[in-house]
A and B are shown apart, each in its own frame.
Chain A
Amino acid sequence: MSIRDAWQRLPREARDTLFVLGVIAWTVLPHLDHLPPWCGLLAAVVLLWRGRLALRGAPLPPRWQVGLVLALAVALTAWSERTLLGREAGVILLVMLMALKTLELRARRDALVVFFLGFFLVLTNFLYSQSLAVALSMLVSVWGLLTALVLAHMPVGRPSLQRAGALAARAALLGLPLMVLLFVLFPRLAPLWGVPQDAAGRTGLSGTLQMGGVAQIANDESIALRVRFLGPVPAAEQMYFRGPVLSRFDGREWTRSAAGFAPWPRRRGEPVVFGSGIDYEMTLEPSRLNLLPLLELTPDRAGAAPEIEAYGPLLRADAQWQLDRPVTERLRLQARAFTEFRLGPLDALPNAADDLGLPAGYNPRSLLWARALRDQPRNAGADGRALAEQLLAHIRDHDYSYTLEPGSYGRDAVDEFWFERRLGFCEHFAAAFVVMMRAMDVPARIVTGYQGSDPLPVDGYYVVRQSHAHAWAEFWQRGLGWVRVDPTAAVAPERIRVSRNLQPPPGLMAQALGSVDPAMAQRLRQAWEALNNRWNQWVLNYSRGEQLNLLKKLGFEAPGWADLSTLLIGVLCAISIAGALWALWDRHRQDPWQRLQRRVAAVLAALGVSVAAHDPPRRRAERVRQALGASGDALAAQLDALDLARYAPAAAGRPALSLRRWWAAFKRTAAQQRR
């Protein structure tokens, strides 16, 4: 007996239960990636247990057994997550509740609980990924849940899954216009309370730096931003996306200085820029940080500054763009950057204490070494640029290597790095460089951000990933202002030029494909990313800004939140009124045949022929002949034709009669008759 036959032979109840279990399993599947293993395992065991009960038609386990498993699940959650609150624990508990509830499907009410939990479970998948693949697989889930819901309300017989599925799909498709309307016009609000901080640790731009902190980020291949150049494309080594600038150093940790964090002082004037600039469009993934890593250097001037009113972008004194709230949605913006610039102040450095500060008692050997370098006779009167060149030459010549796994450093991290281990990545080089410069009394600071992008654009967009997080240095020199130096380039120039230093281990599928045909794997990956990018641009990126643009196109001047709501409510009202009117019309709608019969009777009555409402046309024809004699022949013949067309369409030997046309002809004949 094939599986298909077995499925056909299952009792309806068992079949429906297995279907629901399948849908639940499918919905939980994407969660397995980030749930603790015990959770997936326990859920699978419970679902299999339930499936077995369904197949055997066995009774459900008693309540206390289910309660026991639930208690176990709660205990395991508390143990593995250290809490029962928060997102991860919530998702785990939801999965477990969902699986356990299937053991309690006693009444319709229980079934409905499963469905509603299921919809919520679908939503939780979007917390982790909103990619096209996840969206499609969750669409299947929703369809499955709706199908199961329909099945639960078809108590008669054994309706096929296809039938229930078609009915569910029909309801969803009929609701589609409403969904699109709401999606387009429902005002995108800022988070109502406590912005979820869960994702904050994922970007490299946390605003602090401690040696070792960037290592994880370098392995994170998720996308940070996409950038498209409307004009010429800058070289990879020019692509610096400026994030938090760290000036203050307490010996271990680098943080922002208060002076740098102040708004850009107006009296300083704009940074001096050269050239016509590079226009670019950037799509920023939700970073949950309130900063914009823009291409260096994007000045605050009309035409160059990003226009995103909703976030109130502001240029800080350290030339970093700040927002007034965290980026919680995909953000699209246009701006213009200038790769050649003089970043002021050019004449005198206020608050030089922060940019020169070196805490006493840390890295003594480095300080000694740097002062010795400075006191060399050839360096008498050397400016910051010359000293920086010597430091870079030292790094180049002394066997420093670039690695993502330098191991952990101790208290005097710079000493250890500079003289002994000589292993590190961007932040080690940048931090050591800045410490050395400061030791030589040159103001210097660390800049964090992103550097470079994937080498080939996807669909016109250059992809910048979290693995492109970078740290570089700036020193200050009178007349030049802040000058960028990237010490990492001295040891690993390819990190800067090619800007793809480490590939994560590819997945099994990608590995297999890559070993057969690397070029094709590459192409497939790019096509997929292009598709994903379109999805991002058109669906996920749809935010407040796009909504307001839409309103502008619709003719609203200076549209706002209120206009959006007004429009939405207006359209909904219009639809409701149209629906009510249709219902009113439908209420008085008559069967066309009945209506025709009534009208014919009225016409005949006007001619003095009384017929009953239920008389068929041939009886009416007889009456006409009786009452009007030969003069009524034409009318009678038409009535007979109508009768034939209605009751013996095959005998009439003609295609179906148009009632409307017949009625027009009949009226003409009746009018002639009256004359």
Chain B
Amino acid sequence: MIQHWRRRVRGWWLARLPLTDNWTLTQGNIYILPTRAGLVFALTLVLMLLASINYQLNLGYALTFLLAGAGLVSMHLTHATLRGLTLHLRPVAPVFAGDAALLEIVCINPGAERHGLALRFEDRAAHGSSFVWTDVPAQGQASARMSMRPPRRGLQPVPALVAETLFPFGLFRAWTVWRPAAQALAWPRPEVPAPPLPPALARPGEPHAQPARGEGAELDGVRAWRRGDTLRQVLWKKVAKSGEWVSRDTAGHAAPELTLDWQAARGADAEQRLSRLAAWVLLAEREGHAFRLTLPGRSLDSGRGDAHRRAALDLLALW
């Protein structure tokens, strides 16, 4: 019951925060409270004050007040560690569902050096409570990398993040809660082991052929690298020797074109089919086939290359 209400309150609280990819920390969105250590420190100071009074130690007073002053100043220093920073989330590269998506958070610091800045997910229960620590140089930037694992395919919101600090004395904890607007795209997890590719369908004007295994056999030319060539086509040895980017010229009569069809991917449910299709897309790309993708209601024209592969996976993710 309490859990439930706590969740409700937190949900309401989070919903009030704007969605943004650039989160500038000001007095309005930094919270600060004493930590448990801070409370113990306060208790220590009270005890020291009592000892000073009872033993009439003027130096005891001086020490107590020195520490009290430093402690109070540390509150401002803790707050100032966050104040003025801008947090920026770089676009999140898509990953397969269940894989770790890299969140790169850039901390932009217009002021003096910041130490001991920690980033974590707001919802510790769901995303783990590990911290990523970073220092931010004066007038500079630092990036912190975190990872999230999208459980399913599709566009998923980046969970709320917390940036916090205990610097310098750990007596106070200042934090801010940030809801990035960016969404992470998760492709369907490809089936493992990858099922064999469906047979290439005969197209008008082309001989029927089985998809060829391997691509080395048909290598017959080298040409300058062109945008869209896959990394697999690059002749790395030549690149290393000459410094020029060259690719295998397999265009024209590479492996025959495939059609990856929803109907052909038999599976228990839609997700399994998508998962099989994703595996096929990867396999077809690896083996250099041009392929077209047809889903109920959506389809992708024939093509090859990295961009095509991405488009196919995106289509599968968002279908």
CB distance from A123 to the nearest CB of B (A): 5
Known: A126-B55, A183-B61, A196-B55. 12 other contacts (CB 8 A): A108-B170, A123-B48, A172-B69, A172-B70, A176-B69, A196-B54, A286-B56, A539-B59, A539-B62, A540-B59, A543-B58, A587-B26
**B224 an interface residue at 8 Å Cβ cutoff?**
no
What 1/0 mask marks residues of chain A from 46 to 62 whose CB sits below 8 Å from any chain B CB? 00000000000000000
Q: How far is the CA of A142 from the CA of B62 in the complex (A)?
A: 12
What 1/0 mask marks residues of chain B from 63 to 99 whose CB sits below 8 Å from any chain A CB? 1111111111110110000000000000000000000
Q: Chain A residues near B52 (CB, 8 Å)?
A: 123
Give the segment of A71-79, A151-159, A219-227, A370-378 that binds chain B: A151-159
In the complex with contacts A167-B168, A178-B72, A539-B58, A587-B65 CB distance below 8 A? no
The answer to whether B116 touches A130, judged by C-beta atoms less than 8 angstroms apart, is no
**B47 an interface residue at 8 Å Cβ cutoff?**
yes
8 tightest CB-CB pairs across the interface, nearest first?
A: A175-B69, A178-B69, A328-B56, A182-B65, A179-B69, A175-B70, A179-B65, A329-B56
What 1/0 mask marks residues of chain A from 26 to 66 whose CB sits below 8 Å from any chain B CB? 00000000000000000000000000000000000000000
The answer to whether A191 touches B54, judged by C-beta atoms less than 8 angstroms apart, is yes
**B53 an interface residue at 8 Å Cβ cutoff?**
yes
In the complex with contacts A126-B60, A127-B55, A135-B59, A157-B47 CB distance below 8 A? no
Q: Chain A residues near B40 (CB, 8 Å)?
A: 112, 116
Q: How far is the CA of A328 from the CA of B57 in the complex (A)?
A: 9
Q: Chain A residues near B205 (CB, 8 Å)?
A: none
What 1/0 mask marks residues of chain B from 110 to 149 whose CB sits below 8 Å from any chain A CB? 0000011000000000000000011100000000000000
The answer to whether A542 touches B58, judged by C-beta atoms less than 8 angstroms apart, is yes
The answer to whether B66 touches A156, judged by C-beta atoms less than 8 angstroms apart, is no
Residue of B nearest to A130 (CB): B59
What 1/0 mask marks residues of chain A from 174 to 193 whose CB sits below 8 Å from any chain B CB? 11111100110010110111
CB distance from B143 to the nearest CB of A (A): 13
The answer to whether A177 touches B168, judged by C-beta atoms less than 8 angstroms apart, is no
In the complex with contacts A540-B58, A542-B58, A138-B63 CB distance below 8 A? yes
**B197 an interface residue at 8 Å Cβ cutoff?**
no
Q: Chain A residues near B64 (CB, 8 Å)?
A: 123
**A171 an interface residue at 8 Å Cβ cutoff?**
yes
Q: When the two chains form the complex, which single residue of A123, A149, A153 contacts B57, counting CB atoms closer than 8 Å?
A: A123
The answer to whether A154 touches B63, judged by C-beta atoms less than 8 angstroms apart, is no
The answer to whether A112 touches B37, judged by C-beta atoms less than 8 angstroms apart, is yes
**A480 an interface residue at 8 Å Cβ cutoff?**
no
Q: How far is the CA of A153 from the CA of B165 in the complex (A)?
A: 9
Q: How far is the CA of A477 from the CA of B229 in the complex (A)?
A: 126
The answer to whether A112 touches B170, judged by C-beta atoms less than 8 angstroms apart, is yes
The answer to whether B56 touches A116, judged by C-beta atoms less than 8 angstroms apart, is no
What 1/0 mask marks residues of chain B from 29 to 59 whose CB sits below 8 Å from any chain A CB? 0000000010011001001101111111111
What 1/0 mask marks residues of chain A from 305 to 332 whose CB sits below 8 Å from any chain B CB? 0000000000000000000000011100
Residue of B nearest to A151 (CB): B168
**B187 an interface residue at 8 Å Cβ cutoff?**
no
The answer to whether B48 touches A120, judged by C-beta atoms less than 8 angstroms apart, is yes
**B167 an interface residue at 8 Å Cβ cutoff?**
yes
CB distance from A337 to the nearest CB of B (A): 27
Q: When the two chains form the complex, which single residue of B53, B58, B167 contacts A192, counting CB atoms closer than 8 Å?
A: B53
Q: How far is the CA of A138 from the CA of B26 in the complex (A)?
A: 38
Q: How far is the CA of A27 from the CA of B115 in the complex (A)?
A: 28
Q: Chain B residues near A587 (CB, 8 Å)?
A: 26-28
Residue of A nearest to B51 (CB): A123
Residue of A nearest to B48 (CB): A123
The answer to whether A178 touches B57, judged by C-beta atoms less than 8 angstroms apart, is no
Q: How far is the CA of A120 from the CA of B44 in the complex (A)?
A: 8
* A residues adjacent to B (C-beta < 8 A): 108-109, 112, 116, 119-120, 122-123, 126-127, 130, 134-135, 138, 142, 146, 149-150, 152-157, 159, 167-168, 171-172, 174-179, 182-183, 186, 188-189, 191-193, 195-196, 286, 328-330, 539-543, 583, 586-587
CB distance from A541 to the nearest CB of B (A): 8
**B166 an interface residue at 8 Å Cβ cutoff?**
yes
Residue of A nearest to B115 (CB): A154
Interchain Cβ contacts under 8 Å between A and B, 30 examples: A108-B170, A119-B44, A120-B48, A123-B51, A123-B63, A126-B57, A135-B59, A146-B70, A153-B115, A153-B166, A154-B116, A156-B135, A157-B135, A167-B115, A167-B168, A174-B70, A174-B76, A175-B66, A175-B69, A175-B71, A175-B73, A177-B69, A183-B65, A192-B50, A286-B56, A328-B55, A329-B56, A540-B58, A541-B58, A587-B28
Q: When the two chains form the complex, which single residue of B57, B62, B67, B77 contacts A127, counting CB atoms closer than 8 Å?
A: B57
In the complex with contacts A119-B44, A540-B58, A153-B169 CB distance below 8 A? yes
Q: Chain B residues near A178 (CB, 8 Å)?
A: 65, 68-69, 72-73
Q: Chain B residues near A195 (CB, 8 Å)?
A: 54
Q: How many residues of B contact A (CB 8 A)?
A: 46
Q: How far is the CA of A16 from the CA of B50 in the complex (A)?
A: 32
Q: How far is the CA of A646 from the CA of B134 in the complex (A)?
A: 32
What 1/0 mask marks residues of chain B from 155 to 195 whose CB sits below 8 Å from any chain A CB? 00000000000111110000000000000000000000000
Residue of A nearest to B45 (CB): A119
The answer to whether A119 touches B48, judged by C-beta atoms less than 8 angstroms apart, is yes
Q: Chain B residues near A120 (CB, 8 Å)?
A: 44, 47-48
Residue of A nearest to B170 (CB): A153
Q: Chain B residues near A108 (CB, 8 Å)?
A: 170
Q: Chain A residues near B51 (CB, 8 Å)?
A: 123
Q: Chain B residues near A122 (CB, 8 Å)?
A: 63
CB distance from B48 to the nearest CB of A (A): 5
Residue of A nearest to B136 (CB): A156
In the complex with contacts A116-B41, A156-B133, A182-B68 CB distance below 8 A? yes
Q: Chain A residues near B50 (CB, 8 Å)?
A: 192
The answer to whether A171 touches B73, judged by C-beta atoms less than 8 angstroms apart, is yes
CB distance from A588 to the nearest CB of B (A): 10
Residue of A nearest to B77 (CB): A171
Q: Chain A residues near B72 (CB, 8 Å)?
A: 175, 178
CB distance from B176 to the nearest CB of A (A): 15
CB distance from B189 to the nearest CB of A (A): 35
CB distance from B203 to the nearest CB of A (A): 52
CB distance from B23 to the nearest CB of A (A): 16
CB distance from B167 to the nearest CB of A (A): 5
CB distance from A356 to the nearest CB of B (A): 41
CB distance from A330 to the nearest CB of B (A): 8
Residue of B nearest to A191 (CB): B54
Q: How far is the CA of A188 from the CA of B64 in the complex (A)?
A: 14
The answer to whether A171 touches B169, judged by C-beta atoms less than 8 angstroms apart, is yes
Residue of A nearest to B52 (CB): A123
Q: When the two chains form the complex, which single residue of A168, A328, A583 contacts B168, counting CB atoms closer than 8 Å?
A: A168
Q: When the two chains form the complex, which single residue of A155, A186, A330 contacts B116, counting CB atoms closer than 8 Å?
A: A155
Q: When the two chains form the complex, which single residue of B37, B55, B61, B69 contacts A186, counting CB atoms closer than 8 Å?
A: B61
Q: How far is the CA of A108 from the CA of B64 in the complex (A)?
A: 23
Q: Chain B residues near A167 (CB, 8 Å)?
A: 115, 168
Q: Chain B residues near A189 (CB, 8 Å)?
A: 53
Interface centre among B37, B63, B135 (most CB of A within 10 A): B63
CB distance from A25 to the nearest CB of B (A): 19
Q: How far is the CA of A382 from the CA of B251 in the complex (A)?
A: 144
Residue of B nearest to A129 (CB): B59
CB distance from B34 to the nearest CB of A (A): 13
Q: How far is the CA of A542 from the CA of B59 in the complex (A)?
A: 10
Q: When the two chains form the complex, which single residue of A109, A152, A171, A583 contacts B74, counting CB atoms closer than 8 Å?
A: A171
In the complex with contacts A156-B133, A171-B168, A189-B53, A329-B58 CB distance below 8 A? yes
CB distance from A591 to the nearest CB of B (A): 8
Interface centre among B44, B56, B116, B133 (most CB of A within 10 A): B56
Q: How far is the CA of A192 from the CA of B55 in the complex (A)?
A: 10
Q: How far is the CA of A667 from the CA of B48 in the complex (A)?
A: 60
In the complex with contacts A126-B60, A587-B26, A192-B70 CB distance below 8 A? no
The answer to whether B70 touches A171, judged by C-beta atoms less than 8 angstroms apart, is yes
